[in-house]
Amino acid sequence: MKKFNSAFLLLLCLTTIGMAQPEAGEYDSIGRQSDLIFSGTVVRQDCFLRNDSMLVTETVFSDIGIVKSVNPSRSGNDNEIRIGYAGGTLNGKVIRNPDIPDLAVGKRYFVFVKDDGVFHPNPFPGGCKSVIGISRDPLTGGESISPETSCRPVALAPRKGW
């Protein structure tokens, strides 16, 4: 685990300050509800059925930079962080929650998450806003917040009479 880049933390703070006041307040609330805030790269995702037949996805992050860890014995000292949540794809069965971020293997993210040792069907306190993409400048190696969203697009079927 590496120490979090203080320049990136400063960038996040300045970006939050530059946001519209309601959005900055929303991220303040998400941060307060989070047990763990970190940056990391998704290295794999595994889907499985729990004993109660719930479909669960476990996303594994590496190249970790911890910003906040209320329970450091849970994830703060590991080389990898594992986050489990309801939904996913297994053997042709697909269950999606539009409020759970869409995470891609190989991509780097800044993540706000509940990490209290209890399974949460959605451990992201701000829904898809709890995950912010990070892009890396190939020339300087510097990181910056990516403008792309981690929210899944939701298609609604029109009701009869619309």
**Residue holding tokens 């805030």?**
37
Do strands 93-95 and 88-90 pair parallel, antiparallel, or not at all (unpaired)?
antiparallel
Tens digit of each residue's pLDDT (9 = 90 or more) over 20-45:
455 667 888 898 999 999 999 999 99
**Hey, which of 12-16, 24-28, 90-94, 117-121 has the most confident mean pLDDT?**
117-121
Tens digit of each residue's pLDDT (9 = 90 or more) over 98-151:
889 989 999 999 999 999 889 999 999 989 889 999 988 888 878 877 755 666
pTM here is 0.77
46: pLDDT confidence band, cut at 50, 70 and 90? very high
Average pLDDT over residues 66-86: 82
Query: What contacts 115, CB < 8 A, 6 or more positions away?
Result: 34, 35, 36, 69, 70, 71, 74, 75, 83, 123
Please tell me the predicted confidence (pLDDT) of residue 136. Answer: 81
Instruction: Give 68-116 as a DSSP string.
Output: EESSIIIIIT-SSEEEEEE-EEETTEEE--TTS----TT-EEEEEE--S
Domains of the chain as residue ranges with CATH: 2-145 (2.40.50)
CA distance 112 to 12: 13
CA distance 114 to 119: 9
